[in-house]
Amino acid sequence: MNAATLTTFIIYLIGMLAIGVMAYRLTNNLSDYVLGGRKLNPAVAALSAGASDMSSWLLLALPGAIYSNGMGGMWIAVGLCVGAYLNWQFVAKRLRTYTKTANDSITVPDYFENRFRDASKSLRVISAIVILFFFTIYGASGLVGGAKLFSSSFGLGYHQALWIGAIVIISYTFLGGFLAVSWTDFIQGILMLLTLIIVPIVVISNIGGWDNAVREINTINPELLNAFTGTAVIAIISNLAWGLGYFGQPHIIVRFMALRSPKDVPKARLIGMTWMVLGLIGAVFTGLIGLAKFAGSPLDAPETVFIVLIQTLFNPWVAGILLAAILAAIMSTIDSQLLVSSSALAEDFYKAIFRRQASDKELVWIGRFGVLIIAVIAVIIAWDKNSKVIDLVSYAWGGFGSAFGPVVLLSLFWKRMTRNGALAGMVVGAITAVVWKTVIPSDLYELVPGFILAVLAIWIVSLLDKEPSKEIQDEFKSI
């Protein structure tokens, strides 16, 4: 274990905990804890959305995919860029306005219920179940990634590393809620971007420039620089379809709801998309440069290319900071998922079903203890160090995109949509994603059929249903 690298890690983790303590002092009610009191400025909203979105995928999985497959692995990045832009362009402003107008909805299930005046609570409860199910598994995958980073960097045992990462993340989310998560994600987003810019530049310089890098890659296989080589049409469609998932990711769209004003959306969109494009370019170049750097001695584990480059080329102090960016990527997603899950537990189960008169203070503490419960379950799931993280992440992304994406989009843009239509779309989308993944032998990403069938279910059931009330239609027109 290198003392300098460990010291920088510890300083970083202490800093994240300090932010949690500061945010604790500013958290007075459930809206503060769950949504930061709708006070996020554009920069914090944009970078926290990006950081909570990308997780370790940006620093580990994407460079690893490029290292393994060359430019053929870039199609997911293209799909995500397009999806993220469309999400900012068409969903952000309208969702921020609608959630405020619809009885000041502070969670996604809360919005669904208020948008359709669902007195039965069925939309709220089913959407909360979807959130708790997928995010617990999603969070577990992140804990596995964090544990493996600690373990490989410092020689710690897997379970020891798992508990260290889990305790830090749980602590600042438990204390500060949304403000702590957003502020730490803002810092982590900056750290991630700087790392993705610095590492490729240093490596290119180390191997004698970009022309030398291209020559080295060509000696391995010239086709590695061709984005269409060895990539079937259905694979390209599936990878691009990842972009559809953005419309239904609760931990991302909640940042839109938390903006201090709808007028901040254009600025936030510019900041967020600039961050994302630069980050994705940096990740792609990291994978390509890794091919050139290790041409003579290929890596056994492609997803470690970013870690190995850092450990090989930087002194221990700088390496500690850069490796902390990987931990930041993991933490920034898990904390958001824990927070959305705990808010679903407090607002959408506890208050909606058991204690409708619960005070804000009581709900904040229910949310905090919800973080503990969900995190412990995630740790139990993550206990197996052989867990396949990538499959779980893909599964959760596809599940959310299928179940929530069509409901969010059509609820914002189609006034004829009804409560039963929303319910049908949510159920059909979730079930299709699960069945397609587990039963149907197909290379097509489950998000594609899940999204399409959910849209059809919403459309057909809404048209068969009676029209929404005048109150609902008038509210829609006002938006």
Average pLDDT over residues 60-80: 85
Range ranked top by mean pLDDT from 101-110, 242-251, 307-316, 418-427:
418-427
In the block, residue with structure tokens 């889990």? 166
Least confident of 115-124, 214-223, 438-447: 214-223
Tell me which amino acid residue 116 is: F
Task: Note the pLDDT tens digit of each residue in 86-132.
Answer: 999 999 999 999 999 988 887 888 899 999 999 888 998 898 888 88
Higher pLDDT, 164 or 389: 164
Band of pLDDT at residue 328, cut at 50, 70 and 90: low
Identify the pLDDT of residue 179. Answer: 57
Identify the pLDDT of residue 236. Answer: 85
Identify the pLDDT of residue 22. Answer: 67
Higher pLDDT, 394 or 461: 461
Write phi, then psi, for 40 (nearest 5 degrees).
-70, 135
Furthest CA-CA distance within the chain = 70
Task: Note the pLDDT tens digit of each residue in 296-307.
Answer: 788 877 877 888
Residue 419 lies in a domain: no
Task: Note the pLDDT tens digit of each residue in 360-394.
Answer: 677 777 777 777 787 788 888 888 766 655 677 78
pLDDT tops 90 at residue 273: yes
Please tell me the distance from the alpha carbon of residue 119 to that of residue 111, in angstroms, as a whole number. 13
pLDDT tops 90 at residue 408: yes
Identify the pLDDT of residue 474. Answer: 93
Please tell me the distance from the alpha carbon of residue 255 to that of residue 197, in angstroms, as a whole number. 25
Residue 470 lies in a domain: no
Residue closest to 272 by CA, chosen among 138, 439, 397, 91: 91
Boundaries of domain holding 155: 3-386
Residue 466 lies in a domain: no
Q: Are 88 and 272 in contact (CB under 8 A)?
A: yes
Range ranked top by mean pLDDT from 3-7, 8-12, 293-297, 409-413:
409-413
Token pair for 331: 């933490």
Residue 346 lies in a domain: yes
Residue 475 lies in a domain: no
What do you get for the CA distance between the two ends of the chain, in Å?
Answer: 57
Identify the pLDDT of residue 388. Answer: 57
Average pLDDT over residues 442-451: 92
Residue 454 lies in a domain: no
Instruction: Give the mean pLDDT of the chain.
Output: 82
Residue 449 lies in a domain: no
Average pLDDT over residues 192-202: 86
Task: Note the pLDDT tens digit of each residue in 11-46.
Answer: 877 776 676 666 555 555 555 555 555 677 888 778
Least confident of 100-104, 273-277, 314-318, 328-332: 328-332
Question: What is the pTM for the complete model shown?
Answer: 0.83
Residue 422 lies in a domain: no
Identify the pLDDT of residue 245. Answer: 92
* CATH code of the domain covering residue 307: 1.20.1730.10
Higher pLDDT, 226 or 447: 447
Identify the pLDDT of residue 438. Answer: 86
Identify the pLDDT of residue 427. Answer: 96
Look at phi and psi of residue 318 and say left if phi exceeds 0, alpha if psi is from -120 to 50, else beta: alpha
Q: How many domains does the chain have?
A: 1
